[in-house]
Amino acid sequence: METEDWQIYLNVNETGNVVDAEYGEKIIPAIEYHYFFLRSEEVAANIFDYRVEIVGNIPTLVKKIPETIEEEISAE
């Protein structure tokens, strides 16, 4: 079981998508960030696959659902 000891500092855009991040086991961020989380190394390494949602006034990391691309097939 992975421990949640990786520090993740991140900024998001207006829809909650991560646009900038720094992470590591023991880091001091180079700039000021909007959010801070303690999560596993796996989450940290894939942080751009997550977004921030405010749930009950608490910022929460939520894994994005991959969008499916549907091809339009034209009848000829």
Q: Taking residues 40-49, what's their average pLDDT?
A: 96
What pLDDT is attached to residue 66? Answer: 76
Q: In which element (H, E) is residue 69 found?
A: none
Question: Concatenated DSSP letters for 22-43?
Answer: EEESS---SS--SEEEEE-HHH
pLDDT in tens, 53-68: 999 999 999 999 876 5
Token pair 């921030």 is found at: 52
Whether 23 and 42 have beta carbons less than 8 Å apart is answered as no
Strand bridging mode 6-12 / 35-39: antiparallel
Mean pLDDT of the chain: 88
pLDDT confidence of 51, banded at 50, 70, 90? Answer: very high
